[in-house]
Structure 1
Amino acid sequence: MNSYAWKRDQDALGGTGGSYLKFENHWVDLLECDVRIKVHITDNYRANENRPFSRDVLWWSIEPGHTDWIPMPSNLVFGNFGSRRAREAAARL
Structure 2
Amino acid sequence: MKRGTGIALRAVTATVGGYALAAGTAAALSLALPAVQDRAEAVLTATMAALVPCVLAVIGAFAAASAVRAAAWVAGLAAATWGLAGALGTLTGGGP
**TM-score, normalised on structure 1?**
0.28
Query: TM-score, normalised to structure 2's length?
Result: 0.28
Which of the two has greater helix per residue?
2
